[in-house]
Amino acid sequence: MTEIVTSQTPPILHGPSEKEKKYDRQLRLWAASGQAALESANILLVNSGAGTVGVETLKNLVLPGIGKFTIVDDAIVSETDLGVNFFLDESCLGKLRSQCCAELLQELNPDAQGDWYPKEKASVNLGQILDSMPMYTLIMYTLPIRPEDLAAIKTYGRKHQTPLISIHSAGFYSYFQINLPGAFPIVDTHPEVEKTVDLRLLHPWPELVKFSQEMTKDIDSASDHDHGHLPYVVILLHYLEKWKEGNGGEYPTEYKAKMAFRKMVSEMARTNNPEGGEENFQEAVSAVNRNVKKPQLEQSLEEVFDHKLSNEVEMSSSFWMIARAMKKFYQKNGCLPLPGGLPDMKAQSSVYVKLQSIYKAKARKDALEVLETVRSSPGGKDVDPAEVDMFCKNASFVKLVNATAEGRDFKQILQQEKQNDELAEAIGTPLSLLPIYLALSATSHKPLASADEIKADIVGIWPDVADDMRVMQSSEEVARAGGGELHNISALTGGMVAQEAIKIITKQYIPIDNTCIFDGISSRCQVLRL
Amino acid sequence: MTVNEKSNSTARWQYLDRIRKTKGPFNDDDYDTSEEVLSMHGTQKILVIGAGGLGCEILKDLAMSGFRDIHVIDMDTIDVSNLNRQFLFRKADVGKYKAEVAAKFVERRVKGVQITAHNCKIQDFEEDFYMQFQFVICGLDSIEARRWINATLVNMVDDENPDSLKPLIDGGTEGFKGQTRVIFPTITPCIECQLDLYAPRAAVPLCTLATIPRQPEHCIEWAHIMAWEQEKPFPTLDKDDPEHISWLYKKALARAEEFKIPGVTYALTQGVVKNIIPAIASTNAIIAASCCNEALKIATSAAPYMGMNETYMQYQGDESIYTNTFKYAKKEDCAVCGNLPKPLQVDPKWTLQELLDSFATNASAQLKKPSIRTEDKTLYMQFPPALEEQTRPNLEKKLKEDLGLEEKQEIAVTDPAFPALSFRFFLKFS
Ligand SMILES: [Zn+2]
């Protein structure tokens, strides 16, 4: 695997570059590959309304080094802007809000390139501007917005397959919604390290079996030092075989059998030493529950295997070619390619390194098999082996966001949330935040709507909620804001949207699917697929 | 204020004022929207501790929430690795005091706000300094500093004087995750009650480092702990000096090659030695704004705030978005706000030295320089030197056999990091 090849070449003995120093704290999260994706991204913000939440989002993208951003906004800076938007000052009064914000954002980081529209004070024809612009990695727009602008953005998004994020912040409330063009697969999901351990104790391959048998052939007569330094993988493999002999060839996979197996292993530890036990045997015992298991397919990967390719883009994407090859591998071998990692365990250095190399060699072999399948499939010649390696290493954790394009039955969601609330009220857990979304949505084009107008709008579409107390309260609270933003709520929402934008741009970690509602009164959020 | 300035100011704070002048569905019936109450909020004095990733955001958020009298404490100077998130600093500011540069930037940007910078440690101030503020917001990366300010604020509470109760709002982040806590000292659970949330990482056994390294981290720790002590290439290790880190890196790399262990890099060396926690602008924005949202709600009563029912908001952004806002339980055996001793599991065969060492990694103690006594006997004192010398022979004695300590016996531990505190434990033999 490529990773191993590079780690075997001696690293160059110089310190980090200026850029690595500046971005050190984030490179530890998304590495050079994520950083490169950010640096080549081009983001559009269509800003409107009170105008702060989108700018706060951009701040959190400019700082980590987004390549290029553009703000479209035809508002002129007023005194009221200065009370909510930090990227404006006294000298901006009467000037274009787009230009002033772009300049003060640009000043945060010379690596990012800022631009703005319109260039002169004039109202903007968004459809026309969008047609004349380069391709965007991502478009964000803030609500309330003019209906014709919204239509222009949606048309552009559909035409160019651009991810869209709508953002609405008013008073103590906000929500944002991500609209991805089709299924969005992520390989580099960064699962917790503990979850990724895959030792294949019930499916050992010949090299591993041979190594283990050699190490344990004289286990009972081994010196205390050697016995106390057997890696727990070897200990478990050895006693699993013993277990099978006494249990009709069956592995201990059920709970009761596992407990008995744990007891068996722990009794094999030597206790006639000053410590009264052996650390490696303790490690082995505590590894039983998690690691003595049959390989099984994670639901998220099953979704990937079952996914029907729906368009040209998907047909020609390397992700789906590898996914197909992966499925073949799974069908043929009954398990996924080995990820190849080995957790730390008590062992002699040389023994551990040897065991590590056995796992790595097997992982490399499996990845090669997948690569060959990919290469022999139509269009698969140019697929990058590094992409195959990454997929194999992370196969269990590959995630498909926005898996189905099917329309959501909003009425059903509404009923589900109402039902959940009845239960929640009884046991004192948080109530649904969907009413907040409904109330904010009712002001998408009319920020100054009264509580009664908001409620009437909602009930007009969803008569079921006519006497819903939460809908009334949310409508009152949204009306209270009168289309105004509170800086804190917009800063917080801007942070959340920026995190999501980073996940989409870098294709790392797992973005929301697809709406996040924030309640600044109860200080919590809820993610719903709407 | 002239008439013109006043109308400007009215227009400027229009959004905030509208919320404040309109009673919402979640406000109490006696929600006060009078001009008099409205004008009080700007005059409140707020203390911000830390002018780093969270601190920069907090200063901006407070200024944009109409607070006009803010103090900020931070002893640190600006490093180039701060620039990816500490957005009040530029490359030209590297080496200057964070508190000072941050305060000036926000004062310049937001008219009418006054920010007083203190380029020093929080421990440099006495109680009367902290008494002047209405509340305190912490954006710190150090657990020790959090514990210190927490203990100070709890100790300051005087039941006769309601002004002595200073709400403490505390934020923290790591990567895509973070948390906000609101503490009403003595009334709601304090930072010390929640200390076990910050359990220190278990150290790698020294014998692994010395004889059987397996991971790149083992090679780095070996260079850090053993090779450095032995060779002393520079008089003291400065973890911010690239020359020192390079020395450790080369040592670690050579050791890794000897044992054929892959993966030692400069970045990893720096990360392990400095215990670097990944930090990004967006997470800081979320947590700081959450802290300031609670501050605004407490200061204005514009909406119910965290503290009385829920006390803790946990935020996770790495896998979708998840928040958990809940009530943390107050602990009766908290060393700061409780009045019972904590149980302490010990092996009666331990020496006193082993007991002392265990306090550093014990999640509910985390004390690096403990002194220890029983009700009637001093077992070991770190200071003054004469007493240290006198009690030193006890370090090698076994707890039960030599020192006569018994099951359920109470001991008191003190540490110079928390001069006002005495940590009480009762022994449980294993
Ligand atoms: Zn406490």
Is residue A65 predicted with pLDDT exceeding 90? yes
Residue of B nearest to A231 (CA): B214
3-state secondary structure of B415: coil
For chain B, give the longest Cα–Cα distance.
Answer: 82
Which residues pair with residue A117 across a beta bridge?
Answer: A72
**CATH for B206-273?**
1.10.10.520
Within 10 Å of residue B121's Cβ, how many Cβ atoms? 12
The model's confidence at residue B86, banded by pLDDT at 50, 70 and 90, is very high
**How far apart are the CA of B155 and the nearest CA of chain A, in angstroms?**
29
Residue A408: the pLDDT is: 77
State the distance from the centre of ligand 1 to the C-alpha of B325, rounded, in angstroms. Answer: 19
Gap between the Cα atoms of A151 and A154, Å rounded: 5
Which member of A29, A56, A473 has the closest CB to residue B285? A56
Residue B115: the pLDDT is: 98
Domain boundaries, chain A: 18-182+487-528, 204-291, 299-401, 410-481
H-assigned helices in A84-125: 97-106
Gap between the Cα atoms of B212 and B218, Å rounded: 9
Mean pLDDT within A101-117: 97
The model's confidence at residue A310, banded by pLDDT at 50, 70 and 90, is confident
Residue A421: the pLDDT is: 93
Is residue A1 predicted with pLDDT exceeding 50? no
Classify residue A506 as left (phi > 0), alpha (psi -120 to 50) or beta: alpha
Is residue A6 predicted with pLDDT exceeding 70? no
Within 10 Å of residue A436's Cβ, how many Cβ atoms? 29
Which is nearest to A201 in space by CA: A167, A235, A172? A235
Which member of B14, B180, B285 has the closest CB to residue A494? B285
The model's confidence at residue A5, banded by pLDDT at 50, 70 and 90, is very low
CB-count exposure of residue A76 (10 Å: 0-12, 13-18, 19+): middle
**How far apart are the CA of A183 and the nearest CA of chain B, in angstroms?**
16
Q: Are A24 and B81 an interchain contact pair (Cβ–Cβ within 8 Å)?
A: yes
Q: Per-residue DSSP letters for A243-261? A: HHHHTTT----SHHHHHHH
Q: Which of A66, A184, A521 to mutate to test the interface with B (most CBs of B within 10 A)?
A: A521
Residue of A nearest to B246 (CA): A15
Is residue A301 predicted with pLDDT exceeding 60? yes
Cα angle for residues B293, B298, B303 (degrees, 5° grid): 70
Residue B42: the pLDDT is: 81
The model's confidence at residue B269, banded by pLDDT at 50, 70 and 90, is very high
The model's confidence at residue A4, banded by pLDDT at 50, 70 and 90, is very low
Q: Are B12 and A23 an interchain contact pair (Cβ–Cβ within 8 Å)?
A: no
Which is nearest to B315 in space by CA: A149, A386, A524, A293? A524
User: ipTM of this predicted complex?
Assistant: 0.95
Residue B200: the pLDDT is: 80
Residue B2: the pLDDT is: 64
In contact, B161 and B321? CB cutoff 8 Å: no
The residue with greater pLDDT, B373 or A295, is: B373
The model's confidence at residue B25, banded by pLDDT at 50, 70 and 90, is very high
Instruction: Tell me chain A's radius of gyration from C-alpha atoms.
Output: 28
Residue A312: the pLDDT is: 78
Residue of B nearest to A107 (CA): B90
Residue B3: the pLDDT is: 64
Q: Are A63 and B12 an interchain contact pair (Cβ–Cβ within 8 Å)?
A: no
Q: Are B325 and A430 an interchain contact pair (Cβ–Cβ within 8 Å)?
A: yes
Q: Which of A93, A487, A514, A528 to mutate to test the interface with B (most CBs of B within 10 A)?
A: A487
Residue A11: the pLDDT is: 53
Is residue A200 predicted with pLDDT exceeding 90? yes
Model pLDDT for residues A440-471, shown as the tens digit of each residue? 999 999 999 999 999 999 999 999 888 999 99
In contact, A312 and A360? CB cutoff 8 Å: no
Chain A residues touching B16 at Cβ < 8 A: 83-84, 484, 486
Model pLDDT for residues B41-60, shown as the tens digit of each residue? 888 999 999 999 999 999 99
Residue of A nearest to B275 (CA): A25
**How far apart are the CA of A98 and the nearest CA of chain B, in angstroms?**
18
Model pLDDT for residues B355-398, shown as the tens digit of each residue? 999 998 888 889 999 999 998 899 999 989 999 999 999 999 99
Chain B residues touching A29 at Cβ < 8 A: 175-176, 278, 280
**How far apart are the CA of B183 and the nearest CA of chain A, in angstroms?**
15
Chain B residues touching A4 at Cβ < 8 A: 262
Is residue A10 predicted with pLDDT exceeding 70? no
Which member of A22, A78, A345 has the closest CB to residue B84? A22
Cα angle for residues B286, B290, B295 (degrees, 5° grid): 150
In contact, A506 and A38? CB cutoff 8 Å: yes
Q: Are B85 and A25 an interchain contact pair (Cβ–Cβ within 8 Å)?
A: yes
Which member of B271, B292, B325 has the closest CB to residue A524? B325
Q: Please give the share of chain B, as a percent, with pLDDT higher than 70.
A: 99
Q: Which of B321, B324, B347, B350 to mutate to test the interface with A (most CBs of A within 10 A)?
A: B321
Which is nearest to A69 in space by CA: A77, A84, A59, A81? A59
**How far apart are the CA of B290 and the nearest CA of chain A, in angstroms?**
6
For chain A, give the mean pLDDT.
93
Gap between the Cα atoms of B287 and B176, Å rounded: 10
State the distance from the centre of ligand 1 to the C-alpha of B334, rounded, in angstroms. Answer: 5
Identify the CATH assignment for B3-198+278-326 out of 3.10.20.30, 3.30.1110.20, 3.30.360.10, 3.40.50.720: 3.40.50.720
Residue intervals of chain B classified under CATH 3.10.290.20 are 342-429
State the distance from the centre of ligand 1 to the C-alpha of A289, rounded, in angstroms. Answer: 36
In contact, A186 and A399? CB cutoff 8 Å: yes
Q: Counting runs of H as helices and runs of E as strands, what totals does chain A give? A: 23, 10
Report the length, in residues, of chain A.
530
Residue B136: the pLDDT is: 98
Is residue A9 predicted with pLDDT exceeding 60? no
Residue A133: the pLDDT is: 83
Note the Cα A206 to chain centre separation in Å. 36
Residue A403: the pLDDT is: 84
Gap between the Cα atoms of B98 and B118, Å rounded: 10
Which is nearest to A168 in space by CA: A508, A510, A447? A447
Which residues pair with residue B117 across a beta bridge?
Answer: B72
Residue A2: the pLDDT is: 38
Q: Which fold has domain B342-429?
A: 3.10.290
Mean pLDDT within B397-401: 94
Residue intervals of chain B classified under CATH 3.40.50.720 are 3-198+278-326
Is residue B29 predicted with pLDDT exceeding 90? no
State the distance from the centre of ligand 1 to the C-alpha of B332, rounded, in angstroms. Answer: 8
Model pLDDT for residues B272-310, shown as the tens digit of each residue? 999 999 999 999 999 999 999 999 999 999 999 999 889
Gap between the Cα atoms of B75 and B140, Å rounded: 12
Chain A residues touching B277 at Cβ < 8 A: 25
The model's confidence at residue B325, banded by pLDDT at 50, 70 and 90, is very high
Mean pLDDT within A381-407: 91
DSSP state of B226: I
Q: Are A510 and B110 an interchain contact pair (Cβ–Cβ within 8 Å)?
A: no
- The one catalytic residue in B120, B190, B207, B219 is B207
DSSP state of B97: B
DSSP state of A293: -
**How far apart are the CA of A228 and the nearest CA of chain B, in angstroms?**
13
Model pLDDT for residues B91-141, shown as the tens digit of each residue? 999 999 999 999 999 999 999 999 999 999 999 999 999 999 999 999 998
Chain B residues touching A21 at Cβ < 8 A: 80-81
Mean pLDDT within A6-33: 81
Which residues pair with residue A56 across a beta bridge?
Answer: none
B207: annotated active-site residue:
yes
* Range of lowest pLDDT (A303-312, A516-525, B271-280, B287-296): A303-312
Gap between the Cα atoms of B185 and B198, Å rounded: 20
Name the CATH superfamily for A18-182+487-528: NAD(P)-binding Rossmann-like Domain (3.40.50.720)
Which member of B264, B276, B321 has the closest CB to residue A496? B321
Instruction: Name the pairing type of β-strands B45-49 and B69-73.
Output: parallel
Q: Are A108 and B304 an interchain contact pair (Cβ–Cβ within 8 Å)?
A: no
Is residue A242 predicted with pLDDT exceeding 80? yes
Is residue A314 predicted with pLDDT exceeding 90? no
Residue A141: the pLDDT is: 98
Mean pLDDT within A172-193: 95
DSSP state of B222: I
Q: Are A495 and B64 an interchain contact pair (Cβ–Cβ within 8 Å)?
A: no
Q: How many CB pairs under 8 A join A and B?
A: 261
Model pLDDT for residues B188-243, shown as the tens digit of each residue? 999 999 998 888 888 889 999 999 999 999 999 999 999 999 999 999 999 989 89
Mean pLDDT within A514-529: 97
Mean pLDDT within B138-146: 94
